[in-house]
Amino acid sequence: MDNKRMTGHLAALFTILIWGTTFISTKILLEDFWPVEILFFRFVMGYLLLWPVCPRRMKGVTIRQEAVFAMAGFCGICLYYLLENIALTYTLASNVGVMTSVAPFFTAILVYFTGKSEEKLRPGFFVGFVVAMAGIVLISLQGAGWEINPLGDILAVAAAFVWGVYSVLTRKINGFGYPVLLITRRTFFYGILFMMPALAFFDFRLGAERFTDMTNLFNIVYLGVGASALCFLTWNFAVRALGAVKTSIYIYMVPVITTVTSALILEEPVTWISLGGTGLAITGLVLSGYEGKRRRKSNSA
């Protein structure tokens, strides 16, 4: 494995380690903030932070490329998180966790049907998907349980599909050749822009006094700086290095990281069911990402 691909795997793993802990910060913030307020504050903070890091502007962007940036911001920043948050108001968090973990499957299918891809769909990917989903279901069942709620579950599946679309768009954007930081900032801009009309429907307020609480301030900074600005940078880099399909399979690890951090920080119980689910999720990730000796040799020939 060359250094670029190794760095890509490390970037994807780092991203998922952070994203898997965001549920803890979000759960704490929900005591004083509405979901849409958390979403807006974290991405505005992330966007503003990216300017001093790289103050130069992106030049030479065509109208067609601008449209792709706008679609990526709409899908990956605005629509995905809105669908996920709305789904949480209708169904169990465990259901949403399972449904949104289907995103790698949608990513693979969309990449396949958009054509002109070097990322082939192999039997191992689908075997790994089934194994990982079995593990994720087990992890979810050891928590609040499982209960069918058509509207909430459909919204969660829709969120997973939207993330698949975002992954394909990110793959296309990386082909434009712009620096990853400028790509991320441009995507954030459009995500926030599309988010603005939705704020009026969700009782949004600035409520600056809430940030005087150090717990609130720490968690919103963690989401804005770590989970937004930094992690979208590392995720976009991973997609550029590994491809959309191989990067997306790391999403299987999100419920695992959430379970571990919930046990360590919130002191939630860890059961044999959750441990078994964790093992299956990791096995599924390995199976989905395994290329095989024959394929590696053919690539190096």
Return the higher-pLDDT residue of 174 and 298. Answer: 174
Q: Could you give the CA distance from residue 152 to residue 98 in angstroms, rounded to a whole number? A: 12
Q: Which of 248, 231, 181, 239 is nearest to 17 (CA)?
A: 231
* Range among 17-26, 148-157, 274-283 rated most confident: 17-26
Contact 154, 97 (CB under 8 A): no
Q: What is the DSSP string of 71-111?
A: HHIIIIIIIHHHHHHHHHHHS-HHHHHHHHTTHHHHHHHHH
Give 3-state DSSP helix, strand, coil % of the chain, rounded to 5: 80, 0, 20
Mean pLDDT to the nearest integer, 179-205: 89
pLDDT at 103 exceeding the cut of 80: yes
Q: Which of 159, 101, 87, 96 is nearest to 134 (CA)?
A: 101
Average pLDDT, the chain: 81
Give every CB contact of residue 118 below 8 A, 6+ residues apart in sequence: 243
CA distances from 256 to 167, 274, 290 (A): 21, 8, 20
Residue 143: predicted pLDDT: 53
Contact 63, 124 (CB under 8 A): no
What pLDDT band is residue 140 in, cutting at 50, 70 and 90?
Answer: low
Mean pLDDT to the nearest integer, 131-153: 67
Contact 103, 248 (CB under 8 A): yes
Question: Which residues span the domain enclosing 59?
Answer: 3-300
Mean pLDDT to the nearest integer, 239-249: 85
Global pTM exceeds 0.95: no
Count of structural domains within the chain:
1
Return the higher-pLDDT residue of 292 and 184. Answer: 184
Q: Could you give the CA distance from residue 101 to residue 177 in angstroms, rounded to a whole number? A: 29
Return the higher-pLDDT residue of 63 and 297. Answer: 63
Residue 273: predicted pLDDT: 72
Q: In this predicted model, what pLDDT tens digit does every residue of 29-75 receive, in sequence order?
A: 888 888 788 889 999 999 999 999 888 888 888 999 999 999 999 99
Q: Could you give the CA distance from residue 89 to residue 177 in angstroms, rounded to a whole number? A: 40
